[in-house]
Structure 1
């Protein structure tokens, strides 16, 4: 039986990878700093959880023991976690190599190497860590998640102003479909290729204003759409369309379908 280790298996995408892997009948080890308690709904039967931390190396050996592949869904959005993001990836890969794990797959962001935003730069540096490792590695670059847009729109709804970046278009993708792509990449037999980059985007491209109206309809928000300029690295990234990959449309869950499925949590 194939055994996978999911690092960050309690996060938004990681927990989807875990659930899908268990459903496929795989042996699943989950590495997390804060594993859910036994019996919790976030802890599916069939997965074994290990407490560990890639910033210190604690628990890595136990989680990686016997694994055929590791899927890295870890995040480092701010502060110390962001600063140590790439180093944590290097520590995870070193532990994987020591454990005899031959392959690793890492979740990344589309065109992260072309953005000046600190969070995106950290993803690009981590990709370089994977490329230099002694394992066979795959970096899966995805477009922005449906949930990101929903959070942006919800942030302004309290004051009845829904922020929309002027001229911005998005190609959002479902976290569950990204999880499927990560798992599929992990299960591809070893090919002797040291490092590959794969890019996936959502099934449709739409103006941010159009997506905001869909969110309003699903959430019942009565706020006004406020079109704003976005300066800085993120604004440049969006204006240049670096968040889009029209030739790589994947999945079938549009923003509207995702909203309908998650209406209770909007």
Structure 2
């Protein structure tokens, strides 16, 4: 019996013992190494692609503010216009890739659209009815089609508010604008945004002269906020559409072009004011 008990004690003493996560052998002078875990292989995930914005008419009044707003948000910005590089001497202008082209010749858009993820068109103009239809309508329709074929995600078109009786006086202007709007909603049903501001005010550069349009526009905007019910009057009602600051238009345009949850469709002047306030 003693022999059996002695053997059991001896066999138990020969088993390794666990102490603080390490196994000890019967030889007190030897400590087994802890179990080693190989590190998982590191997977290098490339950073998300940089948003590249193309501004059509980027050297104009609204377009230049759009370029600046986009640069302030860290976007890569390119611009296409008939004159090419902007005559502005502001520091931000050197950070824009300037392209020279004519939207009435769609081929000039190919290089400018390379790598572009979103487009904002600020192209428009006045003149004869046929000229206004070409610039406001045909030129923008060409740009919309080219952007769609290139796989651009979002397209924002700075159009114009309905001014009632004024529409008849500038028939080519408004018919061109509405034709471009129709094309945009067709080609970009989920990523097309139309902004319809009224009178856009702000500091406008004409050569070396800066015109402070805000002196007129800002008071009128404040005044017309209190006359909104008059906007519903037949024919003359739209004349009470409040002016809007160019920085607000630029802010909302860039947001609409880059925010995937920004709802597609038409945004009137009151919507522009509302979205501008939300982004502050």
In which range does the TM-score fall when normalised by the shorter chain?
Answer: 0.5 to 0.7
Specify whether residues 43 and 81 from structure 1 end up closer, same or farther in structure 2 by C-alpha distance, changes over 3 A only. farther
Question: Structure 2 regions of 5+ residues with no counterpart?
Answer: 1-49, 205-211, 217-235
Specify whether residues 42 and 107 from structure 1 end up closer, same or farther in structure 2 by C-alpha distance, changes over 3 A only. farther
1:83 aligns to what? Answer: 133
- 2:200–2:243 contact (8 Å) kept in structure 1: yes
Larger Rg: 2
- 2:58–2:64 contact (8 Å) kept in structure 1: yes
- 2:103–2:143 contact (8 Å) kept in structure 1: yes
Specify whether residues 95 and 181 from structure 1 end up closer, same or farther in structure 2 by C-alpha distance, changes over 3 A only. same
| Match for residue 197 of structure 2 among 127, 142, 151 | 142
SS in 1 for 2:243: coil
Distance 1:145 1:109 in 2: 10
SS in 2 for 1:49: strand
Distance 2:188 2:127 in 1: 28
1:94 aligned onto 2:145: yes
Distance 2:87 2:61 in 1: 19
1:186 aligns to what? Answer: 257
Distance 1:251 1:69 in 2: 20
Question: Structure 1 regions of 5+ residues with no counterpart?
Answer: 154-165, 202-244, 253-266
* Structure with larger RCO (C-alpha < 8 A, sep 6+): 1
- 1:36–1:43 contact (8 Å) kept in structure 2: no
2:267 aligns to what? Answer: 198
Pairwise CA RMSD of aligned residues? 3.4
Matched pairs, number: 194
Shift of 1:59: 2.1
Shift of 1:97: 2.0
Q: Deviations over 1:46-101 (max 9, x none)?
A: 21011111111242011111111100110132235413131111211121122221
2:248 aligns to what? Answer: 177
Specify whether residues 169 and 101 from structure 1 end up closer, same or farther in structure 2 by C-alpha distance, changes over 3 A only. closer
SS in 1 for 2:84: coil
What's the TM-score, normalizing by structure 2?
A: 0.59
SS in 2 for 1:76: coil
SS in 2 for 1:140: strand
1:125 aligns to what? Answer: 179
